[in-house]
Structure 1
Amino acid sequence: MDVIVAGDRADLVKAKYTLGAGRLALVPTMGALHEGHRSLIRLAREHAEHVAVSIFVNPLQFGPSDDFSRYPRTFDADLEVCAEEGVGVVFAPSAEEMYLPDRQVAISSGVMGTVVEGAFRPGHFDGVLTVVLKLLNLVQPDVAVFGQKDAQQLAIIRRMVADLDVPVSIIGAPTVREPDGLALSSRNRYLSARERTTALSLSQALAAGAAEAVPSRVLAAAKAVLEGATRLDPPLLLDYVELVDPQTFQPVDDTHRGEALLVVAAKVGTTRLIDNTRIP
């Protein structure tokens, strides 16, 4: 079956009717699909008979200094990816379709949305939760799949679903990496060859940290790699590297027991990248 493209609510209702009975999985995206997105779609197919992919560059999650206007938009290529992966429906609404001009209500991400990534991007996670809840309400999937690369986003979405009793199962998909370790991202296309070499320091720092066992040593090992990368040409511009609780995103110390998450964000040139790894 060809991919059904739905641009508004009415089209979406018709598309779901055309799909027929069976479990439905949603893969929310902002487009510019790559192998990482393909892995999300394939995982979704393991949990449902039908897969819907949303393609919407959400203006609410971009701050004044973010790259909304630069974010890649490759709709025709994205449709080809969806067709190749057996997606049933692509929901691609406009901003006008998603948001009323006089909208007044949004979702708050609470304390979790103000720390780590949220401290550098105020309001970002409020925008994420608002659009995700709207997509879940509109598509009404049985399951929704999100990438572990955006670990804080995934944790906050899970908390929203639990707190608001949203009837959907949230599935986290492992981060997909290039052979040299760079985490796949739609923004990678902006990196020059030299910038890409510098960008490898993120995954190298995570690997160095993961080789340690004590939280303070985990963080020290990662910081050593990243500090060295600040002296490269072009240099790494570090926003943060933190060792946090994977549920709350509060920092952990040597008294912590259980799993932790090593998270990092940095700019290389004009491209901002994030990455993370679990520390058992």
Structure 2
Amino acid sequence: MQLMGSRIPPDASVPGPCDPEDLLDGVIFGAKYLGSTQLVSERNPPTSVRMAQAQEAVDRIKAPEGESQPMTEVDLFVSTQRIKVLTADTQEAMMDHSLQTISYIADIGSLVVLMARRKLPQRSEVAEEKRLYKMICHVFHSADAQIIAQAIGQAFSVAYQRFLEANSIDPSELSPRQYSRALEDQEQYNAELTHFSRQENCKDVCIRKQKGEILGIAIVESGWGSILPTVVIANLMHGGPAEKSGELSIGDRLMSVNGTSLVGLPLTSCQSIIRVHIKTMPASTYRLLTGQEQPIFL
């Protein structure tokens, strides 16, 4: 998370407007909600770009000078776990963002701009820093705008310190930026775990072919950090049994072939297993991923 005009301290004391212990349970600030808008952004643009994005969000939402500004009384709940926007009267949650999705917080005069990742992008061959993220930007009005922004930055700092203490990590070994990246990786891990826990995201596929005929698939490893370490279909041979079946797609993950698991095995072992079963009808489960340039068809 980027914080305008602030740096996260490496020592155990975390300065800010709130008692660090209070942030563990959550602190509430009164504010007026003006609205939200969506922007597209690279992962870690310079602070100047983030500030320009915050100003763009304000320009989109704030009514021109002299015109009435629609706004709603809300309570901003700030903790080391999440940021919530609650209706002031019923305390119903209007928005709920885990702290790890907050990318930027800025105070512009009496306005607070809160920017959160709407969704992690799909893994792709695009350079890490060039992937585009959808950012949801919330704009609030408060006489304590600066204090609110500082409190959110402090919440991140407290969470960072707690993480270091819980894992006995020296601050010099894990910068706040690296900590933020670790949180994002955990978010990706949880997203993949949720995906594979859903029955509709897995299926058995029967491929019919002639005796001795290859399936017409090329496979690659799913890559480091994947919750499901198995092979991925990188290409389908034009006119091959796999393509003709219409059941497989580039990016599908193969978990087993005729009951033989491929999970956790190196690429060469998976290729050998598929070749052994080449005369049978394989079964597979899948998730969309990426491909390769020069396939070796099996």
TM (norm. structure 2) is 0.23
TM (norm. structure 1) is 0.24
Which structure dedicates a bigger proportion of its chain to strand? 2
Which of the two has higher C-alpha Rg? 2
Which structure dedicates a bigger proportion of its chain to helix? 1
